[in-house]
Amino acid sequence: MRKIQILGTGCPKCSTLMANAEAAVKAAGIEATVEKVDQIADIMRMGVMSTPALAVDGVVKSAGKVLSAADIKKFLA
């Protein structure tokens, strides 16, 4: 099962990225967990300085922008 993490403190952009990630998982038809990481220490430990950020299986794929569901789906292929 894939693990998708949305890193951010809860801003509207973070919420949009979370919704887009959930839509991407559904569109890809895969089993994945989508979780929110909102503790600053945890976000910094992953090397992210700009939120929102997206990590797939523990690897940061994007930081500082809101990806569309189609963009996120590419990382899941």
Encode pLDDT of 31-53 as tens digits: 999 999 999 999 999 999 999 99
Asked if 37 and 60 touch (Cβ cutoff 8 Å), the reply is: no
What structural domains and CATH numbers belong to the chain? 2-76 (3.40.30.10)
Q: What is the mean pLDDT of the chain?
A: 96
Determine the number of helices (DSSP H) and then strands (DSSP E) in the chain: 3, 4
Enumerate residues 6+ apart whose C-beta is below 8 A from 20.
66, 67, 68, 69, 72
Two tokens, residue 15: 């919420």
User: What's the pTM?
Assistant: 0.94
Based on its alpha-carbon atoms, the radius of gyration of the chain, rounded to whole angstroms, reads 11
